[in-house]
Amino acid sequence: DAKLGHIPFIYPCTIGSVGFISVIYAAENIGLDLGVLSPIFHSLPLYSAGLGWTVIAVLVMVVCILTFRFLPARSEIQS
């Protein structure tokens, strides 16, 4: 049973991915053409409401939790 704070890469990965989404939102709001990225991000649930980042945050957290749970610890690899 791992708590989220014990997964060393969960916060940087989640914050990085949400930050990336925020840059996409900002770029679209100032009128930049993002080409193929725009339709991809517009297909995210809640994106039109400005909440597409929540889907990305949850997905990244799940991937981090699964990675932490199923990958062997470094001490086990070195043994």
Task: Tell me the C-alpha to C-alpha distance, in Å, between residue 17 and each of 10, 12, 79.
Answer: 11, 8, 33
- pLDDT at 5 (0 to 100): 67
- pLDDT at 63 (0 to 100): 93
- pLDDT at 73 (0 to 100): 67
Locate the domains of the chain by residue range.
8-71
Which stretches of the chain score pLDDT less than 70? 1-2, 4-5, 73-79
User: Are residues 66 and 11 in contact, defined by beta-carbon separation less than 8 angstroms?
Assistant: no
Q: How far apart are CA 24 and CA 28, in angstroms?
A: 6
